[in-house]
Structure 1
Amino acid sequence: MLEIIATTIEDAIRIEKSGASRIELVSALTEGGLTPSYALIKNVVQSVKIPVNVMIRPHAKSFIYTYEEIQLMKEDILVAKSLKANGVVLGVLNENNEICEEHLSELLSVCNGLDVTFHKAIDELADPPRGIKILSKYPQITNVLTAGGKGNIENNIEVIKKMISSASHINIILGGGLNLQNIAVIMEKTNARDYHFGTAVRENKSPFGEISLEKTKELVQIMKMRD
């Protein structure tokens, strides 16, 4: 599975045209991705046939949220669901840089019927494989997006393998630091099935660049060759 970040309707159309499997829809890519607007979610979902997963993240200050922010996130989840998004992408930590299970449970309470990805907040943990075991307690969580922790993904191979072996029902999606030069090696070393790309498939690798059809089609071909 190849998931690519979109920030506009045009991005989404290009991603679908490239042959990619799924879209992660965000705003503010320079901030790591925030919750997109109602109108953008609505129009992207209506413009493509492939699944669209929506980022639920109210700010880029941290992954620690107040009670009021959790209520806002719950409402944004319900909006995404009402607009026929395939799923949502979220992550919550506490002051100790641990998964905040209280807030996670509250968010999951409104995620029925949605694909749920716990995003790269997991890479902030001291022990990401332990984090996967915690997340595996929640049947609603279908995916975890990770680079295997902090630093270069190519140096995190052993951690990624541990995360995959601990994942239970969860799909481990690799993302963060992937590019056309290292993807084949990462695929071979981790044997992961699902991959996530952001700026690496944009013109000049810029968050402001357009999605490159050439790069995304090349990625699709690399993944088909592996299969």
Structure 2
Amino acid sequence: MLRWGASTPSAWKRGSTTASATSKAEGAIMSEILDQFDRIPGPQKLALLLLVAVGIFVAFYFIVYSGQQEDIDRAKSRLERQYARQAELMAEADDIERVRAEVAQQCEWQQVFVERLPIGPQIEPLLVTLQQQAQIAAVSLEVQDISGASSGRDYMTIPMAINVQGTYDQISDFFYGLSRQPRIMNIRNINLARSASTRGRADEAGGPILRAQFNLATYYTDPESTQGVEACN
């Protein structure tokens, strides 16, 4: 018993006949085209072949190559933008390094400035420095007076009256030590005389004991005028 819709030998035969008829029709069409092509004169045939080749090339260009070229152009444009951005970043990095170098240089200058012209009076460190230099030079030191600070154009001045006692060489060493200090010190009105308390005797190192009286002025900057100094700390 055959089920509904099942293939039968007669159905196969009809399908085979239909396919054969279709193939024959296509073959007849191709034969007709080839016959017509053969009847075309040689020069026209060559021109037709060239026209077909051009058509194939144009079709390839618009269908395949143009799409690929657009992708290539987009990729090149993206790459150029990346190169440009990379150059900008490198330039910014160079600027950062240059700025850092300038800041470091400014901080070095600032450190020298603060050592020579400290922020605030800094009286105690100054007295320690004077005492240390007196010990190094082997002189006796007496700070007689520290007057009130007076204001200058961009700085404040601290005047001091000082006495030192020792031989000429010792006093010279003391003044030399002060001149080598980072902080600015201005020595004026030096009065050098033989010490009355040691008149008639000499120091163990030789030479008479002298007494030097002088005025010392040192300077400092107002903290309010040094904004930004802490940036280097």
- Scaled by the length of structure 1, the TM-score of the pair is 0.21
Larger Rg: 2
In the superposition, the TM-score normalised over structure 2's length comes to 0.20
